[in-house]
Amino acid sequence: MATVKRDYYEVLGVKRDAKPEELKRAYRKLAMEFHPDRNQGDKAAEEKFKEVGEAYSVLSDPQKRQRYDAYGHSGQQMPDFGQFSFDSAFDLFDMFFGGGRRAHGSGPQRGSDLRMSVDITFEESIFGAKRTVDVPRADTCPDCAGSGAAPGTTPHTCPDCGGSGQVRRAMQSIFGQVMNVTACPRCRGIGRLVDDPCARCRGRGLVEARKTIEVAIPAGVDGDVQVRVSGEGEAGPQGGPHGDLYLSFRVAPHPQLIRRGQDLVYELPVSVTQAVLGDRITVPTVSGETEVDLSAGTQPGRVVKIAGQGVPHLRTGRRGDQICVVRVVVPAHVSAKERKLYEELGGRDGKPVEVRRGFFDHLRDFFAPAE
C-alpha cells in the first residue's frame, strides 16, 4: 500500500530556496485552510492538513531540511530523522495560533486505542490462524446512548458556552493578538449539561464491557508485528466512535525449531556412523516430518537446506527455508564390542588429524549474513 509522497516544497507551494519566513507564511496559510476545525469530517482536508504539517515539520528544521534536500523522502527512514505524527501537526498549529485541539470541538470524541497481546502457538505464527479475542473495554452506555442523561430526560445546552463547548479569549502570540480557544470549564467542553444522570453509567455515558472479536492472525507474524483492528478500541465519550485495537503476539517456542528471520534453524543430531557412511534421515518440519539425505563423510556443522519450509514473508507470502545444522553426536560410553571395533580402526597416533576444510569454515558459512 505504498502511497506516492508529494515533494515537500510542492506541498507548501514554495521554491526550493525558500527562506524560513516564506515557509512559515506558506504553512500558516495552508494549515488555516485545511484545519480540521474548519473542515469537519472532510477526510481529504484532514489528509492535506497532515501533509502540510509533515512538510513544514521537516522543512522548518534546518538539519531535516538539509537531509531532505540530499536524500528526499527516503531520508526520513533514517533513525535520527524523527517520526512525524498527526499530533505534531496540531502542535505546530497550536504554536502558531494558540488553543489546543483537545480543548475545543463539541462533537463526540473518538475513544482511546487499546493494546492487547495474544498468546499463539509456533505453528499459528507460521501459518496464521483465526482466533477469538476477549476485549475488555468501554462501550457506549446502552441506557442513555452515551448522553449520560437518565432515560426519558435530555441534557440541556450549557449556558456558558451556548453549546459550543468552547470559550474564546484574546491572547498574545508571536503573530500578535490571536483568539485562544479553550474548553468551557462549566461543561468541560461537552456543550451540554446533565441534570439527572443516567443510573447505569452514573452520567459517564460509558460502561465497562467485554467484546469478543474474531481476529485473523497473519501468516509469518512474530513478536514485533502489530495488527490494527479498526474501531474495536474504547468507545468515545458522549456516544463518540470507538478507537482502534492494536494486537501484538507472544509466540510459544518450538521444541526443535528456532526462527531466524524467514528461516527456521534445526539442529540435526547424527551418529558417527551416519556421518561417516551417510544415511536418509527423518527430520521434523513445521508441516510434519520429511526426509533428508546425508551424504557419506558429512562433517559436523554442515548445513542441509530444506527449501520452502521456513516462515512466510508477511507481505509476499514467500517462505524461507529450514536450515538443518548437522551435529555429530560422539558416544560418551561404548560397549566392549564397540570399543574393540574402534580400536581396530586405529588412528590413535598422537597427532592431530589432517583436514582440508575445518569445522570453523562451516560455522563461518552458516553465520555469514545471508541476503
CA torsion through residues 226, 229, 233, 236, sign: positive
CB 180 → Zn ion: shortest distance, Å?
Answer: 16
CB 208 → Zn ion: shortest distance, Å?
Answer: 12
Per DSSP (E only), the strands in the chain are: 114-120, 129-140, 156-157, 166-173, 176-183, 192-193, 206-217, 226-229, 245-251, 257-260, 263-271, 279-285, 288-294, 303-306, 322-329
CB 309 → Zn ion: shortest distance, Å?
Answer: 55
**Beta carbons of 94 and 173 less than 8 angstroms apart:** no
Question: Which region among 38-46, 63-71, 159-167, 344-352 touches Zn ion (by CB under 5 A)?
Answer: 159-167
Place of cell 495552508: 30
Residue 160 near Zn ion by CB under 5 A: yes
Residue 198 near Zn ion by CB under 5 A: yes
Site string for Zn ion, 110-149 (x = CB under 5 A): -------------------------------x-xx-----
Residue 187 near Zn ion by CB under 5 A: yes
CB nearer to Zn ion: give 131 or 186: 186
Residue 58 near Zn ion by CB under 5 A: no
Most distant CA pair in the chain, distance = 105
Residue 311 near Zn ion by CB under 5 A: no
Burial of 165 (0-12, 13-18, 19+ CB in 10 A): buried
Question: Which region among 67-75, 183-191, 240-248, 309-317 touches Zn ion (by CB under 5 A)?
Answer: 183-191
Comparing CA positions, the residue from 214, 215, 221, 216 lying closest to residue 125 is 221
Q: Which of residues 259-298 bind Zn ion (CB under 5 A)?
A: none
CB 187 → Zn ion: shortest distance, Å?
Answer: 3
336 sits in which H/E element: helix 336-345
Q: How far does Cα 368 stand from its chain's mean position?
A: 29
CB 192 → Zn ion: shortest distance, Å?
Answer: 8
Which residues contact Zn ion by CB under 5 A?
141, 143-144, 158, 160-161, 184, 186-187, 198, 200-201
